[in-house]
């Protein structure tokens, strides 16, 4: 494995590459058409109160698109459901559920760069994870031409044989403003003022001087009305918080709860993702192969059965892993803990203790956000079949990933560039 030298990746726990081959460089998302995502849907029931529509959008932030669709339909956004949150700077196709909406209603929705097509009906609302996976076609532009074919092939071979660390990608933490996990930490600690001031008040290098000045002024003064006047309309989520604060000064918890519920919950989920990334990188630093296991770690099988590795069953475990029957998985901490903590969980609990976070913190955050944070198992290794096509200095990668896995995690293994090149 090779250590990442990029401070941003290190801060997000994305410390290692699986391959020792030099990256091919390149730029991701030169245009939205360079990042194409096609959702693989679950089987629908064919009848029920939910209309299933295929949504194709270009360069739309996910939550913004859902709010606009609901607005055009004159319904609450709560009547929309989806299986996965898709990238903004991309062309994405996915399926959404709409409660008590007809095909005629849907036909009246007209939004630039959005196409909605009725598909069928379903008995249930779609929730996060209700999809079979995603198919990707991603083009990396202006790659390093020296030995491009050989390096691409070598990286592909590494991914196919040993797999790569199954990191949560940078967009999980905010592609251009990676602070969601820090906001989530303060929500978990009940520090709502600090959470708002990070989200609204932290300035970033890529932003205009006007935006930086407005953010800095808010961080220093807490003047919501002035910040609301100075921040541009495109920063819609910041403005939602500020509008609430302007109407209810000092009510920082209310400002957070003014956010779309699913976005609010993602702050806390991002902290869980950060814990996972950090624990996985600590395991990589210890030199343990992704294809091997330690006593005390947990295994997840194809049927989602969980088992624990012991010194006694370690030889059998290694045979199962070699044959692709199971993989090491970590339980991301939440309000519950259904397994005995192993090395990965102990690493995460140590980070939580340092941060002043407990399992009760997740229960409190559940009450605050209206979302359960019970935790979940996640494989530490990502494996997929990747095909590559090279045209000059451009490389197109095609692959399929299960729900909750990040295409940018695959792309970073090829590129090995700064995170800014992947947003």
Q: What is residue 206's predicted lDDT score, i.e. its pLDDT? A: 83
Q: What is residue 176's predicted lDDT score, i.e. its pLDDT? A: 77
Residue 364 has pLDDT above 90, yes or no: yes
pLDDT confidence bin for 341, thresholds 50/70/90: very high
Q: What are the tens digits of pLDDT across the range 65-102?
A: 999 999 999 999 999 999 998 988 999 999 999 999 99
Q: What is residue 302's predicted lDDT score, i.e. its pLDDT? A: 87
Residues 6+ apart with CB under 8 A from 298: 306, 307, 308, 309, 328, 329, 330, 331, 339, 342, 344, 377
pLDDT confidence bin for 212, thresholds 50/70/90: very high
Q: What is residue 327's predicted lDDT score, i.e. its pLDDT? A: 94
Q: Are strands 35-40 and 91-99 parallel, antiparallel or unpaired?
A: parallel
Tell me how far apart the terminal alpha carbons of the chain are, to the nearest angstrom.
24
Residues 221-242, mean pLDDT to the nearest whole number: 94
Catalytic residue IDs: 87
pLDDT confidence bin for 205, thresholds 50/70/90: confident
Q: What is residue 174's predicted lDDT score, i.e. its pLDDT? A: 85
Q: What are the residues facing 376 on neighbouring strands?
A: 332
Residue 421 has pLDDT above 80, yes or no: no
Give me the chain's average pLDDT, please. Answer: 94
| From 173-182, 217-226, 266-275, 352-361, the region with the lowest mean pLDDT | 173-182
Residues 313-336, mean pLDDT to the nearest whole number: 92
Q: Tokens in use for 292?
A: 């091997």
Residues 361-385, mean pLDDT to the nearest whole number: 94
Q: Tokens in use for 213?
A: 């000045």
Q: What is residue 204's predicted lDDT score, i.e. its pLDDT? A: 87
Q: What are the tens digits of pLDDT across the range 284-323?
A: 999 999 999 999 999 999 888 999 999 999 999 999 998 8
pLDDT above 90 covers a percentage of the chain that reads 86
pLDDT confidence bin for 422, thresholds 50/70/90: confident
Mind spelling out the 3-state secondary structure of the chain? Answer: CEECCCHHHHHCCCCEECCCCCCCEEEECCCHHHEEEEEECCCCCCCCCEEEEEEEEECCCHHHHHHHHHHHHCCCHHHEEECCCCCCCCEEEEEEEEECCCHHHHHCCCECCEEEEEEEEECCCCCCCCCCEEEEEEEEEEECCCCHHHHHHHHHHHHHHCCEECCCCHHHHCCCCCCHHHHHHHHHCCCHHHHHHHHHHCCCCCCCHHHHHHHHHHHHHCCHHHHHHHCCCCCHHHHHHHHHHHHCCCCHHHHHHCCCHHHHHHHHHHHHHHHHHHHHHHHHHCCCCCCCCCCCCEEEECCCCEEECCCCCHHHHHHHHHCCCEEEEEEECCCCCCCCCCHHHHHHHHHHHHHCCCHHHHHHHHHHHCCCCCCEEEECEECCCCEEEEECCEEEEEEEECCCCCHHHHHHHHHCCCHHHHC
**Dihedral angle of Cα 156, 14, 2, 377, to the nearest 10 degrees:** -70
| CB-based contact 199:285 (threshold 8 Å) | no
pLDDT confidence bin for 264, thresholds 50/70/90: very high
Question: What separation in angstroms does the CA of 345 have from each of 13, 364, 422?
Answer: 15, 21, 30
Q: What is residue 180's predicted lDDT score, i.e. its pLDDT? A: 96
Q: What is residue 177's predicted lDDT score, i.e. its pLDDT? A: 86
* Residue in the block written with tokens 């199962």: 320
Q: What is residue 87's predicted lDDT score, i.e. its pLDDT? A: 86
Q: What are the tens digits of pLDDT across the range 5-60?
A: 999 999 999 999 999 999 999 999 899 999 999 999 999 999 999 999 999 999 99
Q: What is residue 171's predicted lDDT score, i.e. its pLDDT? A: 87
pLDDT confidence bin for 262, thresholds 50/70/90: confident
Q: What is residue 6's predicted lDDT score, i.e. its pLDDT? A: 92
Q: What is residue 419's predicted lDDT score, i.e. its pLDDT? A: 77
Residues 146-158, mean pLDDT to the nearest whole number: 94
Residues 334-351, mean pLDDT to the nearest whole number: 94
Question: What separation in angstroms does the CA of 352 have from each of 114, 188, 189, 205, 370?
Answer: 41, 10, 11, 29, 22
Q: What are the tens digits of pLDDT across the range 96-134?
A: 999 999 999 999 999 999 999 999 999 999 998 899 999
Residue 175 has pLDDT above 80, yes or no: no
Q: What is residue 163's predicted lDDT score, i.e. its pLDDT? A: 92
Residues 349-376, mean pLDDT to the nearest whole number: 95
Q: What is residue 88's predicted lDDT score, i.e. its pLDDT? A: 87
Q: What are the tens digits of pLDDT across the range 159-169?
A: 888 899 999 99
């Amino acid at each position: 494995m090779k250590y990442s030298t990029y401070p941003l990746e290190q801060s997000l726990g994305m410390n290692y590459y699986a391959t020792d081959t030099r990256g091919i460089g390149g730029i991701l998302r030169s245009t939205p058409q360079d990042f194409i995502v096609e959702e693989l849907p679950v089987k629908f029931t064919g009848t029920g109160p939910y209309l299933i529509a295929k949504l194709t959008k270009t360069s739309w932030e996910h939550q913004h698109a859902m709010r606009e669709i609901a607005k055009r339909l004159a319904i609450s956004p709560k009547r929309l459901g989806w299986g996965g949150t898709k990238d903004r700077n991309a062309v994405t196709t996915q399926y959404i559920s709409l409660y008590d909406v007809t095909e005629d209603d849907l036909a009246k929705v007209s939004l630039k760069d959005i196409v909605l097509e009725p598909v069928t009906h379903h008995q249930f609302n779609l929730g996060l994870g209700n999809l079979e996976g995603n198919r990707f076609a991603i083009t990396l532009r202006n790659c390093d031409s020296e030995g491009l074919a050989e390096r691409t092939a070598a990286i592909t071979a590494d991914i196919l044989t040993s797999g790569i660390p199954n990191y949560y990608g940078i967009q999980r933490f905010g592609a251009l403003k990676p602070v969601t996990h820090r906001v989530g930490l303060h929500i978990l600690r009940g520090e709502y003022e600090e959470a708002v001031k990070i989200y609204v008040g932290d300035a970033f290098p890529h932003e205009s001087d006007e935006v930086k000045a407005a953010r800095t002024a808010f961080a220093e003064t807490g003047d919501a009305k002035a910040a609301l006047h100075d921040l541009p309309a495109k920063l819609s989520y910041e403005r939602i918080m500020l509008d609430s604060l302007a109407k209810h000064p000092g009510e920082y918890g209310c400002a957070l709860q003014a956010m779309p519920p699913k976005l609010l919950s993602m702050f806390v989920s991002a902290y869980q993702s950060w814990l996972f990334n950090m624990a996985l990188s600590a395991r990589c630093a210890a030199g343990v192969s992704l294809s091997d296991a330690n006593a005390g770690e947990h295994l997840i099988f194809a049927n989602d059965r969980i088992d624990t590795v012991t010194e006694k069953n370690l030889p059998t475990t290694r045979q199962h892993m070699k044959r692709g029957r199971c993989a090491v998985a970590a339980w991301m901490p939440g309000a519950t803990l259904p397994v005995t903590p192993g090395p990965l969980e102990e690493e995460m609990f140590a980070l939580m203790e340092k941060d002043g976070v407990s399992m009760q913190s997740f229960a409190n955050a559940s009450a605050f956000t209206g979302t359960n944070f019970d935790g979940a198992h996640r494989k530490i290794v990502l494996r997929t079949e990747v095909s590559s096509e090279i045209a000059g200095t451009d490389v197109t990668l095609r692959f399929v990933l299960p729900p909750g896995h990040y295409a940018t995690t695959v792309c970073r293994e090829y590129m090995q560039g700064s995170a800014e090149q992947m947003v």
